[in-house]
Amino acid sequence: MSISVFSVLSAMDLVLNVADYYVLTPYVYPESWLEDGTLRQIISLLVLTNLGAAVLYLGLGAISYYFVFDHKLMKHPHFLENQVQREIKYAMTSLPIISIPTVALFFAEVRGYSKLYDNVSDSPLGWSGLFLSMISFLFFTDMCIYWIHRFLHHKSIYKLFHKAHHIWKIPTPFASHAFHPLDGFMQGVPYHIYPFFFPLHKVLYLALYIFVNIWTISIHDGDYRVPGALTSVVNGAAHHTDHHLFFEYNYGQYFTLWDRLGGSYRHPSPLMGKGPHDVIRKLEAEGKLGSDGKANGNVRNGVTCKEE
Ligand SMILES: [Zn+2]
Ligand SMILES: [Zn+2]
């Protein structure tokens, strides 16, 4: 559930070089502004980061919303009025604020402080080094996000930052990046700091971030299917839906590992015939959904969901 939308631009010098070469140097900046000037680099990073974040969030979110998200979920009593518009508005207001500290990290990367490398030959283990770094990236970020996310649920700070993401009890793909700015930045930090601690191939970094963005959206897409054998290992939309509904369970990102170690694992209700679709079917059978498909009157109060 972390904000990873910026991270696709993380191998920032690659992105910046391409933007400089094709657009910024010939068409945008005056000749006197050198490509490696501090102010120019910061402005370019801010613009590219915001553009990239908006395109990724809205683009991948829309694909998932139209082709994966089951629109029947909007009949659920806990689905809010104008929820999709509100999710998008909240995310698009937060992303520019989150981009400011994020650009500070990208700037350090562009200035060569990270351990990112360009060629497979730079990896001491060759291709197997790339494979190992992929595994270590996933486990490192999964572990960090688990603990950051759990910390954000601590009762002394929950209402200040993370509660905003839990307004959406039946999330859509557009809830994936709808966070308070500080919450979003904190949950994105693991992705940004990894290459400062561990060597990583730049192109692999880009690929991992595209994957991470798709994953973040996918755990909010309402598609609860998980291949049988993976149900207990992979943290999918079914697990994350229970996190939105019941709060203190399934804090993980890709795996259930840390929830199991931390005692917060909950077998997903959608996989036990007690999920949002089952609630909707039951209400329909009882005639408690109005002609517009919305829940009548006090139905919401009778539907299981932990109010914080
Ligand atoms: Zn979420
Ligand atoms: Zn949470």
Q: Are 137 and 200 in contact (CB under 8 A)?
A: yes
Question: Residue 149 C-alpha to ligand 2 middle, in angstroms?
Answer: 6
Q: Which residues hold their Cβ within 5 A of ligand 1, which is an ion?
A: 1
Q: Which ligand is closest in space to the CA of residue 235?
A: 1
Q: How far is the CA of 164 from the centre of ligand 2 (A)?
A: 9
Measured in Å, residue 168 CA sits from the centre of ligand 2 at 11
- For residue 220, what is the DSSP state? T
pLDDT tens for 205-239 read 988 988 898 999 999 999 998 888 888 899 999 99
Residue 81 CA to ligand 2 centre (angstroms): 21
Strand partners, 117: 201
Cα 269 from chain centroid (whole Å): 22
Q: Which of 284, 282, 263 is nearest to 273 (CA)?
A: 282
Does some domain include residue 209? yes
Q: Which domain holds residue 231?
A: 7-302
165 CA to centre of ligand 2 in angstroms: 7
**What distance in angstroms lies between residue 104's CA and the mean position of ligand 2's atoms?**
26
- The two tokens of residue 94 are 């937060």
In a domain, 308, yes or no: no
Q: Find the 202 Cα to ligand 1 centroid distance in Å.
A: 28
Nearest ligand, measured from the Cα of 247:
2
- Indicate if the pLDDT at residue 12 is higher than 80: no
- Give pLDDT tens digits for 97-155: 999 999 999 899 888 899 988 888 888 888 999 999 999 999 999 999 999 999 999 99
Query: Per the structure, how many domains does the chain have?
Result: 1
Per mean pLDDT, which of 16-20, 41-45, 145-149 is the most reliable? 145-149
Q: Which ligand is nearest to the CA of 145?
A: 2
Domain-embedded: residue 95: yes
Q: Long-range pairs for 44-48 at CB < 8 Å and ≥24 separation?
A: 44/16, 44/19, 44/20, 45/12, 45/16, 45/103, 45/106, 45/107, 45/110, 46/99, 46/100, 46/103, 48/9, 48/12, 48/15, 48/16, 48/19
Residue 307 lies in a domain: no
Instruction: Please indicate, yes or no, if residue 221 is contained in any of the structural domains.
Output: yes
**Which ligand has the nearest atom to the CA of 248?**
2
1 is a domain residue = no
pLDDT in tens, 261-278: 999 999 999 989 999 999
Report how far ligand 1's centroid is from the alpha carbon of 244 (Å).
6
The answer for residues whose C-beta is within 8 angstroms of residue 219's C-beta and 6 or more apart is 1, 176, 235, 236, 237, 239, 240, 253
State in Å: Cα 11 to ligand 2 middle: 28
Report whether 141 contacts 211 (CB < 8 A): no
What is the rounded average pLDDT of the residues 273-299? Answer: 79
Task: Quick: pLDDT tens for 161-197.
Answer: 999 999 999 999 999 999 999 999 999 999 999 999 9
> What percent of the chain has a predicted confidence (pLDDT) above 90?
63
In a domain, 2, yes or no: no
Asked whether residue 62 is assigned to any structural domain, the reply reads yes
Ligand 2 centroid to Cα of residue 76, in Å, is: 20
The confidence score (pLDDT) of residue 300 equals 64
